Amino acid sequence: MMLFWLLTWTALAGDHVVVHNGDTVESFAESDADMATRIRALNGLGPTEQPAVGSLVELPDGLSGLPMEAAVVNVYRGAAAALPRSPQINLVPGMGLPAGSRVCTSMDGYVTLRLAIDQEGLQHDDITLLPSTCLTIQATSSRSSGRRSMVRLETGSITVPRPDAGASPGEITVATETGITTADRGGFRVHVESDVARTEALYNPLSVFGGGVEQRVEPGQGSRVRAGQAPSTPVALLSPGHPIRPLDGATLRRPDFSWVRVDTALGYQFELASSEDFREMLVARSVDRPSWEPARLLLPGDVEGIWWRVSAIDRHGFTGVPSAPQRLALPVGVSP
């Protein structure tokens, strides 16, 4: 059953769009009657039939963007990919990944992928896979009006960094077995649980689809979706605990992190990265108290500084908006 499901999704490697409330074949065709006819033919729709909300519509040439490969930006502690018609290979920065590539991180590995890039090569959309995560790249494309990427998350968790200030929209769609999340400005997370997918909108609004229903989720909210059901009513995410130590800008002499306790939190997500935008993740650890003090902290040998942040986890399992990144320097003459 799983093999058939994956083959079905691999067949969606063309440029597809998610149907939002109010979308029609005519709106996708930009009121071009011939283009509307082509869309209906591609998607098996009758002369007056409209696609269901939350379904995927394939776009014909003329509306599709320019297809492109995704690329590996950063790898830490191991990730591998199975490319179409190729054996599994270990990932290295700069490697290209065509549509249909299945990427998996190790139990303690992280990888950031660059999905779509604009036609000038200046703006891009990235996605970070946390440990024990597998996804398939369905499609990445670029057009003059923006970028579009689609992935299928099978297991684990992904984060989508918010875009740089002034960046144009870049639509990222994350499909799971139970629903679909789509946003045009990043800044969200998606987690696959045993029988449900959980989405957290951190900095920008997004849409979650399930059971033929679109649920709008505003920044600072989360929603779940189970197979065949409408997404849950959004809940407010917890605010983060304010970092206490080490102080921002301090020199890291021992791995001793703490932050202000959040009264209603059941736990916290601690994150450490070698970049301020957290595209180069080093640690993502759930803890049950407002501190993290590992006996040893192993870091790559080529970093000059690190950043840390923390999020509160509520009783529903939603992970809240992260605290502002805190930068730490390494002692002079000392490498990790």
Cα(74)–Cα(30) distance, integer angstroms: 38
Would residue 41 count as lying in a domain?
A: yes
Q: Among 139-143, 173-177, 291-295, which stretch is predicted with the lowest mean pLDDT?
A: 139-143
In degrees and rounded to multiples of 5, residue 99 shows phi and psi of -55, 140
Q: What is the pLDDT of residues 310-334, one digit of tens each?
A: 999 999 999 999 999 999 998 765 5
Check residue 238 and give its pLDDT.
97
Q: Are residues 79 and 96 in the same domain?
A: yes
Would residue 336 count as lying in a domain?
A: no
Q: Among 27-41, 111-125, 195-209, 247-261, which stretch is predicted with the lowest mean pLDDT?
A: 111-125
Left if phi > 0, otherwise alpha if psi is -120 to 50, otherwise beta: which for 166? left
CA dihedral defined by 114, 119, 120, 126, rounded to 10 degrees?
Answer: -20
User: Containing domain of residue 312, as a range?
Assistant: 243-329
Would residue 316 count as lying in a domain?
A: yes
Would residue 254 count as lying in a domain?
A: yes
Kindly report the CATH number assigned to the domain that includes residue 257: 2.60.40.10
| In contact, 184 and 170? CB cutoff 8 Å | yes
Check residue 67 and give its pLDDT.
87
Q: Are residues 230 and 262 in the same domain?
A: no
Q: Are residues 220 and 247 in the same domain?
A: no
Q: Are residues 188 and 204 in the same domain?
A: yes
Cα of first residue to Cα of last residue in the chain, in angstroms, is: 46
Q: Are residues 86 and 12 in the same domain?
A: no
Query: How large is the average pLDDT for residues 31-40?
Result: 92
Query: How large is the average pLDDT for residues 271-298?
Result: 93
Q: Are residues 119 and 215 in the same domain?
A: yes
Q: Are residues 179 and 229 in the same domain?
A: yes
Q: Say how many C-beta atoms besides its own lie within 10 A of residue 301's C-beta.
A: 7
| In contact, 185 and 165? CB cutoff 8 Å | no
Q: Which of 20, 37, 57 is the C-terminal boundary of a domain?
A: 57
Q: Are residues 81 and 120 in the same domain?
A: yes
Q: Are residues 302 and 155 in the same domain?
A: no
Q: What is the pLDDT of residues 151-173, one digit of tens each?
A: 999 999 999 998 777 778 899 99
Would residue 334 count as lying in a domain?
A: no
DSSP state of 6: H
Q: Are residues 113 and 193 in the same domain?
A: yes
Whether 221 has a pLDDT exceeding 80, the answer reads yes
Q: Are residues 72 and 181 in the same domain?
A: yes
Question: Which pLDDT band, with edges at 50, 70 and 90, does 7 fall under?
Answer: very low
Question: Which pLDDT band, with edges at 50, 70 and 90, does 3 fall under?
Answer: very low
Question: Which pLDDT band, with edges at 50, 70 and 90, does 36 fall under?
Answer: very high
Whose CA is closest to 58, among 42, 72, 74, 46?
42
Question: Which pLDDT band, with edges at 50, 70 and 90, does 135 fall under?
Answer: very high
Q: Which of 57, 87, 103 is the C-terminal boundary of a domain?
A: 57
Q: Among 10-19, 34-43, 117-126, which stretch is predicted with the lowest mean pLDDT?
A: 10-19
Q: Are residues 29 and 123 in the same domain?
A: no
Kindly report the CATH number assigned to the domain that includes residue 189: 2.60.120.1440
CA distances (Å), 174 to each of 38, 154, 179, 252, 260, in order?
26, 10, 9, 37, 33
CA distances (Å), 84 to each of 78, 102, 158, 199, in order?
20, 8, 22, 29
Residues of the chain with pLDDT > 70, as a percent, come to 94
Q: Which of 192, 207, 236 is the C-terminal boundary of a domain?
A: 236
Check residue 123 and give its pLDDT.
83
How many domains, the chain? 3
**Which 3 state secondary structure label does DSSP give 34?**
helix
Q: Among 8-12, 68-72, 124-128, which stretch is predicted with the lowest mean pLDDT?
A: 8-12
Query: How large is the average pLDDT for residues 120-138?
Result: 92
Check residue 2 and give its pLDDT.
30
Would residue 232 count as lying in a domain?
A: yes
Query: How large is the average pLDDT for residues 61-77?
Result: 88
Q: What is the pLDDT of residues 87-98, one digit of tens each?
A: 889 999 999 999
Report the mean per-residue pLDDT for the chain. Answer: 90
